[in-house]
Structure 1
Amino acid sequence: MSLPSFRDRLTTRIVTLSMVSLVLVLAMIGGTLWLSWQLQGAGAAINDAGSLRMRANALAIALLKRPETSQVMLQFQIEQMNSTFDRLRKGDPERPLFLPDDADVRRQFDHVANVWRTQLEPDVRKGMAAEPQAVSRYLLELRAFVTGADELVGLIERENARKTAWRRTSQRALAAMACLGTAAIAYLLYLWIVVPVQRLQEGLARIEGREFDARLPVETQDEFGHLAAGFNRMAAELQMLYRDLAGRVDAKTAELAAQNRELTALYEMAAFLNQSNDVDALCRGFLARLTRQFEADGAAVRLVTEDGQVRLIGSEGLPDALLEDERCLAADGCVCDERPCRRAGFASVAAFNIVSQGEKLGAFSLHFRGERIIPASEAQLLETLGAHFGTALKSRRIAALARQLAVSEERNLVAQGLHDSIAQSLNFLKMQVHLLDAATREARMDEIREIVPLLAGGVAESYVDVRELLMNFRTKLGSGELRRAVDESIERFGVQTGIVPLLDYREQGGLPLPPDQQLQVLFILQEALSNIRKHAKARHVSVTIVNACDFSLLVEDDGQGYDPEEMAVLGETHVGFHIMRERAQRLGATLRLTSAPGHGARVELVLPVPARQTA
């Protein structure tokens, strides 16, 4: 059901009515306030206009008593008169004071001001200069000035009386409009809201009384009109539902039961596929659940192998003759050929693909001895189960490949370790054996005496390397055992070299590393110590491990060091450095190797927060 248009909405009408009422009320109030402002300003103007007469008379008295009146007092009275005229002409910004906007008032004010400016003020200033004729003229002109000021006050009062009448009229109109507006708004709200709500209540009462033929009149296009139309549709639907309620309840119950069975099947199959079973057990369990869920008489799973053949991997309830016929098919062959199945006693076969992320891994089929049509809901469920089964197969294949890759990588590291230690030592021993053979044939005893200690030293060095490699390869760590393994490695290094490394192991709030990351860190430490033992000729070695937000390992020695540029030229031929870099890359850590000839070497490993895992 579409919503009513903006123009037809009840809210639009209510808001419009409210805004119109608000505008009218505000206009009337604004007019009343304006009239009050005008009356207040005009009242102040009447006071100032009336003061003109008082100040003019005060000047006359001061002129008559001039010997007793100071020039300062007269000048002050003149300034007060001019200030009063300026206020009446321009208004007073500090309070409401202004002349009414009336032509007669303005004309009379200009006349009074002109009399003061052209006649009275000059005579007062001359009277201050002791001219008796000026004082006489001032007294003669004073009566006309006072009369003009009285007329000005009368005109202002008349204009004020007129505006006072306007204010009373506007207040009466505002009161009348408030009464009429309230009545009109109450009546409109009654028509717009109360009447439709009453009709809706009556309709609901009839529906509660099971009068499903109750209908409401749709007279407007607003929200109540749409509500009435919706009520009518609801009543019609209820009327129709009530007629065949039992049938609908049974159908819905059956639908819910079917959906419940599908959900149960999905849950059981997902729980089974997530178990750590091999492929054969996975296929057997998958087929057993399929035959039980869909009441099939047989089932089979065929997977696409690497040689492009579709091979039968598992079956349930199929005779041996049928299995021999379908043991191996071409990749483009049909797995639902019904002819062999009919010969084996199956009337219908349904086949579905096994897929994972768009890749077809194989197919599975269900065999029925009677005629069976798979409905769309069951077909969709079977396709979903095939996708789940394909995902489980794919994950097991990926896990197997990962294990193979891990074994291959570890074998590569073992080979590199053997090459860096045993192979080089054996090559040295081979050369010494050739030299010993030549010296023996020629009976060079002095040379033989030099070679034999070298052979003995090389054999001892190879023996030490073999023992160290065996200890490294046999190392296994559990959660939180890194400190113990580090202590053992440092103790073994001290026994081999006679140098006791200085260990600074700090736990600063970092979580323990998992065993696989601990093992890689330990291997890097052991490789660094092995390089120091073989090449550094160091006297002091320090190991610093800090387990904070980032995990860091620092190995330093004061040995003979090496030239980084020369090592960069050697590249991967220096297997020890290459192994450490590979292990750091596997960790996702940063490895920095710094050294200078004669200034020792540093091996610094930093495992940042994003790369580290929790144990």
Structure 2
Amino acid sequence: MAVNWRSPIGRNYKLGVRLVSVCLTGLLFGLTMVVGTLWLSWALEGAAAAVNDTGSLRMQSVRIGLNLSQPKPNLVELEQQIRALEKTIANLRDGDPQRPLRMPGRDTVQKQFHQLSDTWQNKLLPILSSFEKNPDQRAQWVSRYLNEVSNFVTIADRLVWQIEAENAYDTSILRASQLALIVLMIASSVALIYLLYGWVIRPVGALQRGISQMTARNFDARVPVEGRDEFGELASGFNDMAAQLKALYSDLEDRVEQKTRQLAAQNKELATLYGFSAYLSQAGDLEQRCEGFLSKLIEHFGASGGTVRILDLRQNNLHLTVHQGISENFAKDELCLHAGDCLCGEAAQQGEMKLHDFRSLPQVLQYRCQEEGFNSIAIAQIKLGNMHLGSYTLHFKTPREFTGEDRKLFEAVGQHLGMAIENQRLLTRTRELAVSEERNLVAQGLHDSIAQGLNFLKLQIQMLHDSLKRDAKDEVQEVLAMIDAGVRESYDDVRELLTNFRIKLGEGDLLDALKISVDRFRHQTGLKVDLNVDNHGLPLPSEQELQALFIVQEALSNIRKHAHASQVRIDLKNDRDFELSVKDNGCGFDQNIHASDKEQHIGLKIMKERAAQLNAKLTVTSKVNHGTTISLTIPRSARIAA
């Protein structure tokens, strides 16, 4: 791509300096030529004025002769004519730049002018002076003046001819200068074009061609560096860029392939982690999850076997939970391993991943894994944050090299297993807590209904014994009737408790469950029950619906046992907030007495505990002989998304 072209002079100067220098040189040259032509034009114009004034000398001298020839010469006019002629001679001698008037400076012209001036000063002017001073001899002086004036006119004609000759010479010089100026302008334009081509156009063209070749992915393209100016620096930078691009593109395919392999490995690692995470998030017991985890781990790393151990923090023991690829005797021997014993125990105690190749270990000790025929093992910890939950081990009969990515993956899956184990433990604790709470509610319900009924039956039996001893048959029949009624009521309470605690609601089943509970209440009591529903909001999740249903059932149970009501009204409004109320027109009670009588109102206590589980507000409004109203409100902030 290099171009064989001789660089212009001054190539090592900055481009701006060169361009300014050329422009200033052209400007000075042009100004010089213009000033020269202007001076020549001014000189020609001054010479033309000198020709006119010299010609006027002849006319003025003749007029003076005519004035002298008159019978009565006009001396005043003569004086004016003399001064005008002298002024003309003075102007020719001194010149007048404003007219302009200039006598050519050639020697022949100046010599002829001095001759003309001397003729006037030394010959004509003395005759005129004598003419004025000697009136008696004027004829003689007139004759002498006319004889000399012809010589003066001849000298003036000769001067005019010489000035015109000089003017013609200057005119030829002016024309030659103009032609020379034209030629020089053409030459200067060609030189300027040449310089601009060498300084600007050609380097720009070279850069353009280089860019075109770079666009066509020809990274061998180079631009000639022809100086240390701006374009030279630009060309040097272009060549450096081309060299760097060539170096980059030369190994681009290798780097792309390497990056592709890295991305594929990372994608595989992410897919593996996702597979482990998805599997461990499925439902199942702890042993089942550990079994599947170990199977996937053995398959991914190509191991011959493996184990998963769970740590007992109280005794600092590692318990073998699942195993694959090892003998039952080995599993039996390694069933419980103290942290710090053997290689697995040491790794668990140190809390870091370990790789052991038995071929490189001292042969003084023989590990149980070696007896099983394994040549290497890999051990990592089951962790959740900083909490150590256990360890897992892979056994290899053929030693396997672990890369940095393998180590990261081998350790990362332990975090997922640790999360699954901890979630399983939390789920178990949650279930235990829920069972405990339900047991507490069952106990309270039994105390409120069955225990009170049994206590009533115990009192009636005592009264029955007293009646039998006194042989009061009427009292016996009355007591037996009351015992029968108490047994039936206890039986109904037991059935109601069993029915309530067996209820399982799905999402949105609250209305149907309420209708069933209301129908059963109507059947048991024969009371009129109004159920009003305004349901425009999202349904509650099943857990909250179940607790709300239990509160309604407890309220109905209290009405059946204690209220002596004739009418019940249930209002449900599900909008932004969830509102539920149960109102009866029964006997009511004194809330001040209720506040101190805790043992007599276990049902209200149970309802308040259930409302607290919902983060809801439960209010009880009651007045003696004016009924009772129980209101449950679950605000929007406490609602769980269904």
Shorter-chain TM-score tier = 0.5 to 0.7
1:566-585 matched pairs, under 5 angstroms: 566-571=593-598, 574-585=601-612
Find the aligned partners of 2:518 and 2:437 in 1 and give their Cα distance: 26
Q: Could you tell me which residue of structure 2 aligns to residue 270 of structure 1?
A: 277
Find the aligned partners of 2:252 and 2:627 in 1 and give their Cα distance: 91
Q: 1:547 aligns with which of 558, 570, 574?
A: 574
Find the aligned partners of 1:605 and 1:201 in 2 and give their Cα distance: 83
Alpha-carbon deviations, 1:308-360, whole Å to 9, x = none?
32111112222334323322112454516662222322222111111123321
Amino acid in the other structure paired with 2:307: A
State the percentage of identical aligned residues. 44
Highest Rg: 1 or 2? 2
Q: Is contact 2:579-2:632 (8 Å) kept? A: yes
Shift of 1:300: 1.2
Shift of 1:446: 4.9
Tell me: CA distance 1:539–1:232, structure 2 relative to 1, closer, same or farther (3 Å).
Answer: farther
Please tell me whether residue 560 in structure 1 is matched to residue 587 in structure 2: yes
Amino acid in the other structure paired with 1:562: F
Q: Is contact 2:219-2:245 (8 Å) kept? A: no
Find the aligned partners of 2:248 and 2:531 in 1 and give their Cα distance: 83
Amino acid in the other structure paired with 2:437: E
Find the aligned partners of 2:406 and 2:622 in 1 and give their Cα distance: 70
Q: Could you tell me which residue of structure 1 aligns to residue 322 of structure 2?
A: 314
Q: 1:335 aligns with which of 339, 344, 347?
A: 344
Alpha-carbon deviations, 1:267-306, whole Å to 9, x = none?
2222222222322221121111111111122221111136
Q: Could you tell me which residue of structure 2 aligns to residue 95 of structure 1?
A: none
Q: Could you tell me which residue of structure 1 aligns to residue 255 of structure 2?
A: 248
Q: 2:622 aligns with which of 592, 595, 598?
A: 595
1:126-137 matched pairs, under 5 angstroms: none
Q: Could you tell me which residue of structure 1 aligns to residue 291 of structure 2?
A: 284
Amino acid in the other structure paired with 1:369: K
Q: 1:303 aligns with which of 310, 318, 327?
A: 310
Shift of 1:425: 0.3
Unaligned runs of 5+ in 1: 1-193, 220-224
Tell me: CA distance 1:336–1:502, structure 2 relative to 1, closer, same or farther (3 Å).
Answer: closer
Report the TM-score when normalising by structure 2. Answer: 0.59
SS of the counterpart of 1:542?
Answer: strand
Q: 2:374 aligns with which of 346, 352, 357?
A: 346
Q: Is contact 1:206-1:214 (8 Å) kept? A: no
1:10-409 matched pairs, under 5 angstroms: 204-207=211-214, 208-211=216-219, 235-245=242-252, 247-305=254-312, 307-308=314-315, 309-333=317-341, 334-335=343-344, 339-409=367-437
Tell me: CA distance 1:234–1:313, structure 2 relative to 1, closer, same or farther (3 Å).
Answer: farther
Amino acid in the other structure paired with 2:301: F
Shift of 1:374: 1.8
Q: Could you tell me which residue of structure 2 aligns to residue 441 of structure 1?
A: 469
Q: Could you tell me which residue of structure 1 aligns to residue 551 of structure 2?
A: 524
Find the aligned partners of 1:563 and 1:200 in 2 and give their Cα distance: 103
Find the aligned partners of 1:458 and 1:494 in 2 and give their Cα distance: 20
Find the aligned partners of 2:389 and 2:405 in 1 and give their Cα distance: 23
Q: Is contact 1:283-1:314 (8 Å) kept? A: yes
Shift of 1:464: 2.1
Query: Superposition RMSD on alpha carbons, in Å?
Result: 3.3
Q: Is contact 2:384-2:419 (8 Å) kept? A: yes
Find the aligned partners of 2:207 and 2:442 in 1 and give their Cα distance: 85
SS of the counterpart of 1:272?
Answer: helix
Amino acid in the other structure paired with 1:268: G
Q: Could you tell me which residue of structure 2 aligns to residue 609 of structure 1?
A: 636
Tell me: CA distance 1:236–1:279, structure 2 relative to 1, closer, same or farther (3 Å).
Answer: farther
Q: Could you tell me which residue of structure 2 aligns to residue 414 of structure 1?
A: 442
1:419-430 matched pairs, under 5 angstroms: 419-430=447-458
Q: Is contact 2:460-2:479 (8 Å) kept? A: yes
Q: 2:492 aligns with which of 449, 464, 485?
A: 464
Amino acid in the other structure paired with 1:545: L
Find the aligned partners of 1:375 and 1:343 in 2 and give their Cα distance: 27
Report the TM-score when normalising by structure 1. Answer: 0.61
Unaligned runs of 5+ in 2: 1-200, 228-232, 347-355, 357-366
Amino acid in the other structure paired with 2:431: R
Tell me: CA distance 1:445–1:376, structure 2 relative to 1, closer, same or farther (3 Å).
Answer: same
Shift of 1:572: 6.8
Residue range with higher mean Cα deviation, 370-379 or 389-398: 370-379
Find the aligned partners of 1:587 and 1:314 in 2 and give their Cα distance: 40
Total equivalences in the alignment: 416
SS of the counterpart of 2:344?
Answer: coil
Shift of 1:197: 10
Shift of 1:242: 4.0
Tell me: CA distance 1:215–1:547, structure 2 relative to 1, closer, same or farther (3 Å).
Answer: farther
Alpha-carbon deviations, 1:499-557, whole Å to 9, x = none?
212222222x2122233322221111111111111111222221111122212111112
Tell me: CA distance 1:202–1:276, structure 2 relative to 1, closer, same or farther (3 Å).
Answer: farther
Q: Is contact 2:338-2:345 (8 Å) kept? A: no
Shift of 1:466: 2.0
Tell me: CA distance 1:575–1:198, structure 2 relative to 1, closer, same or farther (3 Å).
Answer: farther
Alpha-carbon deviations, 1:406-450, whole Å to 9, x = none?
222222212211111011100110122123223323434454344
Tell me: CA distance 1:497–1:393, structure 2 relative to 1, closer, same or farther (3 Å).
Answer: same
Shift of 1:253: 3.7
SS of the counterpart of 2:318?
Answer: strand
